[in-house]
């Protein structure tokens, strides 16, 4: 059973860059066919898909965040990462990493527990 | 971008009730629709994919239907563990998007 675990700072200052890592266990991130994704949830609000990295390194980002987002993968560590620049209070949210897989259509079938990131000086 | 709208936003019901939650897409998404359940402090859990397929391990009291722009999630007989927030999500095109959620509360 694949498990995902986010790690990173819980507090970021305005204008700084957020760096989060998702460690994948129970399976290889290199096995192919998966959309390694980041999704966030503002406090008390709904879910917002940030983007994914797929197989060989193809990425797709939500246009609403595209200018500030980078998702990358480190196969040697079985991890993928999120960088979000120019953080503001509006970026305060719980950040989830998730595995997307095609089961007829793309579904997010495995999620990390989530990590709360607060933007404050 | 495709907008997903759920109704109602909240719903009070009793154990044993039959409950239906609706999700509407801003354009046709065929059957590219998933449903998730989220409990407080937890990550979402996949319940239904491709509009009507039950994810492995999910109780059969959950069912989904619809295609095009209108979809429903039905819980045939509510159990205490079903009180949670439910989200629909479209996988028809990127950026993938979620509904705003329906909070199911105990009456």
Q: What is the pLDDT of residue A32?
A: 83
Pick the range with the lowest mean pLDDT from A53-62, A94-103, B37-46: A53-62
- CA–CA separation, B17 vs B5, rounded Å? 23
Distance CA A47, CA B99 (A): 8
A49 with B91: Cβ contact below 8 A: no
Strands (E), A8-121: 11-12, 18-25, 34-41, 47-54, 58-61, 69-74, 79-84, 93-103, 105-111, 115-119
CA closest to A64 among chain B residues: B95
Predicted local distance difference test score (pLDDT) of residue A55: 76
Separation of alpha carbons A92 and A63, rounded Å? 19
Residue A76: CB atoms within 10 Å:
8
- Tens digits of per-residue pLDDT, A64-99? 999 999 999 999 999 999 999 999 999 999 999 999
pLDDT at residue A56, as a whole number: 67
Q: Out of B32, B49, B97, name the one closest to residue A49 (CB).
A: B97
pLDDT of residue A31: 86
Of A52-61, A96-105, B43-52, where does mean pLDDT reach its minimum?
A52-61
Task: Mark B59-69 as b/e (b = at least 16 C-beta within 10 Å).
Answer: eeebbbebeeb
pLDDT of residue B32: 97
Write out the two tokens for B5.
Answer: 């709208």
* Predicted local confidence at residue A53, as pLDDT: 96
- Predicted pLDDT at A103: 85
CB contact under 8 A, A111 and B55: no
Do A103 and B97 lie within an 8 Å CB cutoff?
A: no
Q: Identify the CA nearest to B76 among candidates B60, B100, B53, B91.
A: B60
């Amino acid at each position: 059973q694949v498990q995902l675990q986010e790690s990173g700072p819980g507090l970021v200052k305005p204008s700084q860059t957020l760096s989060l890592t998702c460690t994948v266990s129970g399976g290889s991130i290199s096995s192919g066919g998966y959309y390694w994704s980041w999704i966030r949830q503002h406090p008390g609000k709904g879910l917002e898909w940030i983007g994914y990295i797929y197989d060989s390194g193809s990425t797709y980002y939500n246009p609403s965040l595209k200018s500030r987002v980078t998702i990358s993968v480190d196969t040697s560590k079985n991890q993928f990462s999120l960088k979000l620049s120019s953080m503001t209070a509006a970026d305060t949210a719980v950040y989830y990493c998730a595995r997307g897989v095609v089961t007829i259509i793309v579904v997010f079938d495995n999620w990390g527990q989530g990590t709360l990131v607060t933007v404050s000086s | 971008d495709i907008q997903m709208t759920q109704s109602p936003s909240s719903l009070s019901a009793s154990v044993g009730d039959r409950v239906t939650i609706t999700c509407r897409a801003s354009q046709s998404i065929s059957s590219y629709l998933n449903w998730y359940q989220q409990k407080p402090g937890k990550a979402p859990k996949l319940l239904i994919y491709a509009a009507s397929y039950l994810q492995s391990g999910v109780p059969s009291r959950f069912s989904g239907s619809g295609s095009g722009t209108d979809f429903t999630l039905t819980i045939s007989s509510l159990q205490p563990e079903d009180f949670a927030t439910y989200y629909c999500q479209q996988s028809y095109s990127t950026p993938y998007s979620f509904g705003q959620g329906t909070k199911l509360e105990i009456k």
